[in-house]
Amino acid sequence: MKRWLSGLIVGMCAHLAVSPAFAQNADPADIRACTGIESDAQRLACYDRATGRNQMPAAKKRIEPTSTPSSNVFSQNRSVAEVTSTGGNSAAPLSLLDSRWELSPESKLGTFNLRGYKPIYVLPAFATSNQNNLPYSPNPENAAHTPLGMQDVESKFQISLKTKLWQGVFGDVGDLWVGYTQDSYWQVYNSKLSRPFRETDYEPEAMLVFDTHYQIFGWDGRLLSIGVNHQSNGQSDPLSRSWNRVMGQIGFEIRPWWRIPEQAADDNNPNISNYMGRADMQIIHEWHGQEFGLMLRDSLRGGSEQHGAGRFTWSFPLVGNLRGYMELFKGYGESMIDYNHNATYLGAGISLLDWY
Active site residues: 230, 232
Distant-in-sequence, close-in-space partners of 78: CB < 8 Å, separation ≥ 6? 12, 13, 40, 71, 72, 96, 285, 286, 287, 356
Coarse DSSP helix, strand, coil percentages of the chain, rounded to the nearest 5 percent: 15, 40, 45
Strand ranges inside the chain, DSSP E: 63-65, 83-85, 115-116, 120-128, 153-167, 175-186, 197-216, 219-232, 242-250, 254-259, 279-287, 290-298, 308-319, 322-332, 342-353
Query: What distance in Å separates the CA atoms of residue 240 and residue 51, rounded to the nearest whole number?
Result: 54
User: What's the angle, vertex CA 67, arms to CA 62 and CA 68, rounded to 5?
Assistant: 85
How many C-alpha atoms does 27 have within 13 Å on its Cβ side? 8
DSSP string covering 221-283, please? EEEEEEEEEEEE--PPTTS--EEEEEEEEETT-EEEEEEPP--GGG-S-TTTHHHH-SEEEEE
β-bridge mates for residue 295, sequence order:
282, 311
Give every CB contact of residue 167 below 8 A, 6+ residues apart in sequence: 102, 108, 110, 111, 175
Residue type, 44: L
